[in-house]
């Protein structure tokens, strides 16, 4: 079930809110149990059998959490249960996400192994990383162990961030499970945040997806340079509004139920370095790898630059693999490893004018998204060659799609900078009945327009759905 679907907007969400706030209002434990059941139902809507995989993950990590807490209370080392927990979770991820890919590699080398057909559970990378965060945070004393498996289940399966994040670390919400406080102000702010994300997803990302899919669907030899650039720029904006829009909806939904999640995006396309870009893009994933992989390896506080480079290599190889079982994702992660090493040790960008640093960063990110979007390394190579003039001459597609989508492209560029946030904050400082009414009317209009697109059944892909 997608947030940008009729069944979610007009049935699931209103029903959950009504039950949560009316009959269950006085009882926190009943609210938590209801949210757990609703979340499992949300996941089972499209994948009824895979809810068993998630349930198994919840129970296993609940047991590991108890084991870790028991060893800590007795003054022993929690190293063994932590290692076993990580191994179990990664084994689950490997079987569903990487086994077929691994077998295909061996078969290309002549192994002749039978290749099973394994369907990928939606959002398995997200809920697996959250499950690991629970055990690791308990082991490090960042959060109290939960004696009830229902509360562990709620943390791992809570539907707002279940299938596409943000990846919520256990320490962030450990106390909120029992001690959160709902208010009308938070509920209203959550509604507006949800509507903002819905607008970004439906009104911008979905429209740009049409152009990007057409460009990347063309054969490399049939792709003109101008349309290749337009397609890559549309995809660069599409993936931002698609994913950040979904994160906005998740953060807004969490706030409607009293949970406060950390931000996942901070205007990444304003970055003047690749390092800065990854401080602003998919912040929850970057933070997860930083806290649970990069820092334990020693981070940058190691004896030699080569050890630091090794640590960066491990993190970015894993980051690429996390996104999918394809050589394009591995190459995408290693490309960022190279770019970051060049910034750190070759001082690329240092001393450049700010405008030049921004342009360099944006171009590198745009080229990386071509690699990310392509179906294969060969297709990525053909696309990049077309961008630099090795395709056919302009066929008229560029002008056609520009005429059809110029307003969407303009909106994408405008909302990639914090102009809207600046206007909102300025309006809040000068709060008045007229301004508040105008703000509410604008949010309502955005919801109505986005909902009309959804009801009409317009193109509604979601890039991170299977990560």
Residues belonging to the active site: 323
Q: What angle do the packed helices 397-415 and 419-429 form, to 10 degrees?
A: 30
Quote the CA–CA distance of 71 and 384 in Å, as a whole number.
54
For residue 169, give both structure tokens. Answer: 């670390």
Smallest Cα–Cα separation from 232: which of 71, 367, 69, 131?
Answer: 367
Count how many residues are written for the chain: 467
Could you give the count of Cα atoms lying within 13 Å of 209 in the half-sphere of its Cβ? 18
CB 227 within 8 A of CB 400: no
- Matching residue, tokens 């870009």: 277
Q: Which residue has the tokens 């079987």?
A: 95
- Count of CB atoms situated within 10 Å of the CB of 360: 17
* Separation between Cα atoms, residue 52 and residue 69, nearest integer Å: 26
Q: Which residues of 14-53 are buried (b: 16+ CB within 10 A; e: fewer)?
A: eebeebbeeebeeeeeebbbbbbebbbebbbbebeebbeb
Q: In whole angstroms, what is the distance from residue 96 CA to residue 435 CA?
A: 51
Question: What are the tokens at 182?
Answer: 């709902």
- Nearest 10 degrees: Cα torsion 82, 87, 92, 95: 170
Q: Which two tokens stand for residue 35?
A: 């949210």
């Amino acid at each position: 079930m997608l947030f940008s679907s009729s069944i979610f907007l007009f049935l699931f969400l209103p029903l959950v809110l009504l039950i949560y706030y009316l009959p269950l209002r006085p009882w926190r434990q009943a609210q938590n149990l209801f949210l757990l059941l609703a979340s499992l139902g949300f996941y089972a809507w499209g994948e009824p059998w895979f809810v068993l995989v998630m349930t198994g993950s919840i129970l296993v990590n609940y047991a590991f959490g108890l084991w870790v807490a028991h060893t800590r209370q007795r003054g022993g080392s929690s190293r063994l249960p932590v290692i076993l927990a990580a191994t179990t979770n990664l084994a689950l991820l490997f079987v569903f996400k990487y086994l077929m890919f691994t077998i295909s590699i061996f078969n290309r080398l002549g192994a002749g192994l039978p290749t099973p057909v394994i369907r990928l559970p939606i959002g398995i990378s997200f809920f697996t990383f959250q499950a690991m965060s629970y055990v690791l945070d308990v082991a490090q004393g960042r959060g109290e162990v939960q004696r009830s498996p229902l509360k562990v289940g709620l943390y791992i399966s809570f539907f707002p961030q279940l299938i596409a994040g943000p990846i919520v670390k256990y320490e962030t919400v450990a106390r909120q499970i029992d001690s959160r406080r709902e208010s009308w102000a938070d509920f209203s702010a959550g509604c507006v945040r949800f509507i903002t994300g819905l607008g970004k997803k439906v009104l911008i990302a979905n429209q740009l997806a049409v152009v990007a899919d057409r460009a990347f669907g063309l054969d490399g030899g049939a792709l003109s340079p101008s349309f290749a650039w337009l397609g890559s720029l549309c995809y660069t904006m599409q993936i931002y509004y698609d994913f950040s829009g979904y994160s906005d909806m998740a953060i807004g939904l969490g706030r409607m139920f009293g949970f406060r999640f950390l931000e996942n995006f901070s205007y990444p396309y304003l970055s003047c370095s690749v390092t800065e870009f990854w401080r602003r893009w998919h912040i929850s994933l970057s933070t997860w790898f930083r806290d649970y992989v990069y820092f334990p390896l020693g981070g940058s506080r190691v004896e030699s630059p080569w050890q630091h480079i090794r640590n960066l290599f491990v993190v970015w190889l894993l980051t690429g693999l996390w996104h999918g079982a394809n050589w394009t994702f591995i190459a995408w992660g290693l490309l960022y490893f190279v770019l970051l090493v060049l910034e750190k040790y070759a001082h690329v960008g240092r001393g450049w004018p700010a405008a030049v640093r921004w342009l360099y960063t944006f171009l590198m990110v745009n080229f990386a998204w071509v690699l990310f979007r392509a179906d294969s390394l060969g297709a990525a190579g053909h696309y990049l060659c077309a961008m630099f003039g090795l395709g056919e001459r302009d066929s008229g597609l560029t002008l056609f799609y520009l005429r059809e989508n110029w307003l969407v492209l303009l909106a994408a560029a405008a909302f990639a900078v914090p102009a809207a946030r600046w206007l909102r904050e300025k309006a809040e400082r000068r709060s008045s009945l007229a301004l508040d009414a105008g703000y509410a009317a604008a949010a309502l209009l955005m919801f109505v327009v986005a909902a009309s697109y959804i009801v009409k059944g317009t193109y509604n892909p979601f890039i991170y759905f299977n990560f």
